[in-house]
């Protein structure tokens, strides 16, 4: 269902007076009024010209988000076709190559696409101190930047005219070539399609090769929020994500595997020795009904020992983040 699409296209709304229609838009948070004032720079300083403010009708953020999702769905073919062609060529190029070589090629394409989508030449950096108090300069997370670029595009596309056509359910307005080419409005719709295509490629390449943490376009963002509930139980976000996904993927012998995972996490120093807290997390988030985690002496249960050994090997990469 297209949220908000066609909400104004009904007899009840159409029969309202102009003022009543405006009240409906405001009362339902579809739009809000923005007042702007002229400012004169005079020799004595800044003087507000407040007598005749300019009043604009601005779409609300929820409507803007829904409108953007509508456009993505409407132009899904235009977005997906070059995405599919890219991966058809990319998969042919990396076929049979060592994983390290595949990742190197993927990174090259990732950087090329990012530069194309970034537009701006400037780099965004942040300054922070490491555990030793030494100041470090790090580049902004690329997916933070891409989310910002996408939000900017949302605002650019959501002109009052465009959003009103959307709320009136006027599909033909958006399917018209003049809209796609940007000749009937001030928005660059071709740029929107190109952006979403490249963004989709970047998300997919990053999902396969993990160049950077993506908290906006993957499930990592949801897991980051979930981690806040259990940051006393897990030493780091990455260990929590590993644990969560691992338990989600358990099928057979789920209780036994979860018991072994707890022992591996505790042995590596990634969780405190609190079975109660761990079980509370497992039961609530993974819909299990654990009442206890069995303790095994060394070599008492060889299958358990083997599972613990395997989990510890997998967790080794997180040792520096304890």
Other CB atoms within 10 Å distance of the CB of residue 5 = 19
Same structural domain, 163 and 197: yes
Task: Note whether 256 and 203 are same-domain residues.
Answer: no
Are residues 245 and 276 both part of a single domain? yes
Give the other-Cβ count within 10 Å of 303's Cβ. Answer: 12
CA 90 to chain centre: 24
Q: Does residue 170 share a domain with residue 229?
A: no
Assess if residue 87 is contained within a domain: yes
- Considering the domain architecture, whether residues 231 and 259 belong to the same structural domain is answered as yes
Q: Is residue 220 part of a domain?
A: no
For residues 268 and 99, give the distance between their C-alpha atoms in angstroms, rounded to a whole number.
Answer: 28
Whether residues 70 and 185 share a domain: the answer is yes
* Last-in-domain residue among 40, 59, 78: 59
- Whole-angstrom distance, CA of residue 240 vs CA of residue 270: 9
Same domain as 144, residue 88: yes
183 and 83 share a domain? yes
Q: Say if residue 98 is in the same domain as residue 181.
A: yes
Domain that holds residue 266: 225-321
Residues 239 and 268 in one domain: yes
Structural domain tally of the chain?
Answer: 3
Take residue 263 and report the two structure tokens written for it: 């022992």
**Sign, Cα dihedral of 40, 45, 51, 54:** positive
Q: Note whether residue 69 is domain-resident.
A: yes
Report the predicted TM-score, pTM, of the whole model to 2 decimal places. 0.77
Residue 3 is assigned to a structural domain of this protein: no
**Residue 6 maps to a domain:** no
End of a domain among 209, 242, 260?
A: 209
Name the nearest CA neighbour of 247 among 295, 281, 216: 281
Final residue in a domain of this structure, among 23, 44, 59: 59
**Rounded to 5 degrees, what angle do the CA atoms 100, 101, 104 make?**
90
Q: Count how many Cα atoms sit within 13 Å of the Cα of residue 183 in the half-sphere of its side chain.
A: 5
Does 190 reside within a domain?
A: yes
- What is the chain's pLDDT, residue by residue, as a tens digit (322 residues)? 578 999 998 888 888 898 999 999 999 999 998 876 656 555 455 455 555 666 788 999 999 999 999 999 999 999 999 999 999 999 999 999 999 999 999 999 999 999 988 766 556 666 777 666 777 777 889 999 999 999 999 999 999 999 999 999 999 999 988 887 765 555 678 889 999 999 999 999 999 999 999 999 998 999 999 999 999 999 999 999 999 999 999 988 899 999 999 999 999 999 987 899 999 999 999 999 999 999 888 888 999 999 999 999 999 988 865 4
pLDDT at 179: 85
Query: Residue 215: inside a domain, yes or no?
Result: no
CB distance 215 to 143 below 8 Å = yes
Give CA–CA dist 39/50, Å, rounded.
9
The verdict on residue 1 lying in a domain is no
Same domain, 73 and 35: no
Backbone angles phi, psi at 299, to 5 degrees: 70, 10
List all residues 6 or more positions away from 220 whose beta carbon is below 8 Å from its beta carbon: 213, 214, 241
User: Biggest alpha carbon distance in the chain?
Assistant: 88
Considering the domain architecture, whether residues 191 and 238 belong to the same structural domain is answered as no
3-state secondary structure the chain: CCCCCCCCCCHHHHCCCHHHHHHHHHHCCCEEEEEEEEEEEECCEEEEEEEEEEEEEEECHHHHHHHHHHHHHHCHHHHHHHHHHHHHHHHHHHCCCCHHHHHHHHHHHHHHHHHHHHCCCCCCEEEEECCCCCEEEEECCHHHHHHHHHHHHHHHHCCHHHHHHHHCCCHHHHHCHHHHCCCCCCCCHHHHHHHHHHHHHHHHHHHHHCCCCCCCCCCHHHHHHHHCCCCCCCCCHHHHHHHHHHHHHCCCCHHHHHHHHHHHHHHCCCCCCCHHHHHHHHHHHCCCCCCCCCCCCCCCCHHHHHHHHHHHHHHHHHHHHC
Locus of tokens 């400037």: 122
């Amino acid at each position: 269902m297209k949220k908000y699409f066609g909400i104004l296209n009904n007899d009840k709304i159409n029969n309202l007076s102009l003022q009543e229609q405006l009240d409906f838009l405001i009362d339902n948070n579809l739009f809000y009024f923005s007042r702007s004032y002229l400012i004169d720079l005079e020799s004595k300083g800044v003087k507000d010209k407040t007598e005749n403010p300019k009043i604009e009708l601005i779409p609300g953020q929820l409507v803007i988000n829904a409108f953007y999702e509508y456009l993505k769905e409407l132009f899904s073919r235009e977005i997906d076709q070059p995405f599919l062609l890219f991966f058809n060529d990319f998969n042919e190029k990396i076929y049979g190559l060592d994983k390290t070589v595949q990742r190197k090629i993927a990174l090259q394409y990732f950087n090329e696409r990012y530069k194309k989508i970034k537009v701006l030449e400037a780099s965004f950096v942040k300054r922070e101190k490491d555990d030793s108090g030494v100041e470090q300069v790090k580049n902004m997370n690329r997916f933070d930047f891409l989310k910002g670029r996408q939000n900017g595009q949302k605002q650019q596309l959501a002109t009052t005219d465009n959003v009103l056509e959307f709320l009136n359910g006027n599909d033909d307005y958006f399917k018209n070539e003049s809209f796609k080419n940007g000749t009937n409005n001030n928005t660059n719709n071709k740029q929107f399609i190109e952006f979403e295509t490249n963004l989709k490629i970047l998300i997919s390449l990053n999902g396969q090769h993990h160049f950077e943490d993506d908290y906006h376009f993957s499930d990592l963002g949801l897991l980051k929020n979930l981690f806040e509930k259990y940051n006393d139980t897990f030493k780091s976000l990455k260990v929590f994500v590993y644990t969560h996904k691992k338990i989600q993927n358990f099928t057979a012998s789920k209780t036994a595997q979860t018991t072994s995972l707890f022992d591996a996490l505790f042995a590596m120093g990634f969780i405190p020795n609190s079975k109660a807290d761990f079980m509370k997390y497992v039961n609530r988030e993974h819909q299990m009904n654990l009442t206890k985690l069995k303790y095994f002496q060394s070599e008492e249960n060889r299958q358990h020992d083997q599972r613990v050994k395997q989990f510890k090997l997998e967790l080794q990469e997180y040792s520096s983040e304890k």
